[in-house]
Amino acid sequence: MVAGLPPGRSPLWAADGTTFLPVLYLAAALIVGAVLIALAQRRRRSTTSVSPSISASDQMAEFSKLYEQGLMSKEEFEKVRARLFREIRQASDLPPVPANPVVPTPQTAVTPPVPAPETPVPPPGEPPAAGDQQPPASGPAPT
């Protein structure tokens, strides 16, 4: 028997029960927190230790087949494609693609003007063909 306690009373209830319940709640909260931390660490370890068995390019080929078969929507395929291309670029040590890449527009080729076909000049002494115009003569004008 503990000195100062009435018979039949536990030493846990020595302070009329006002301190026992808060201590119990604190202990329960600590135990729940420890369990949650342990579960989070286990999950983090399991996701980082598992490496994909196929490469990102192989996954891209599989998802392309699913999209072509109509089993994936265009939006789903675009999301998967963007993620896998980021992984491929990181694995290749390439710099990341900018958010708004500037795509150069093809410039139109400037072609020089095509000269008009020359009209054949008839030999001297022959009249010009019908519909042809006589080029201006160089030299004195006929009188």
Q: What are the residue boundaries of the structural domains of the chain, listed by start?
A: 18-50, 51-97
| Residue 135 to residue 143: CA distance in whole angstroms | 18
50, 40, 81, 103 alpha-carbon torsion, rounded to 10°: -120
Distance CA 9, CA 4 (A): 10
Q: Looking at the predicted structure, is the pLDDT value of residue 78 above 80?
A: yes
The C-alpha atoms of residue 89 and residue 96 are separated, in whole angstroms, by: 7
List pLDDT tens digits, range 9-60: 666 555 556 777 888 899 999 999 999 999 999 888 876 544 556 777 788 8
Q: Quote the mean pLDDT of the chain.
A: 74
Q: Please name which of 42, 75, 32 lies closest in space to residue 24, comparing C-alpha atoms.
A: 32
Of the spans 46-60, 75-89, 124-138, which averages the highest pLDDT? Answer: 75-89
The predicted structure's pLDDT at residue 27: 93
Average pLDDT of the segment spanning 116-125: 71
| pLDDT at residue 91, rounded to an integer | 75
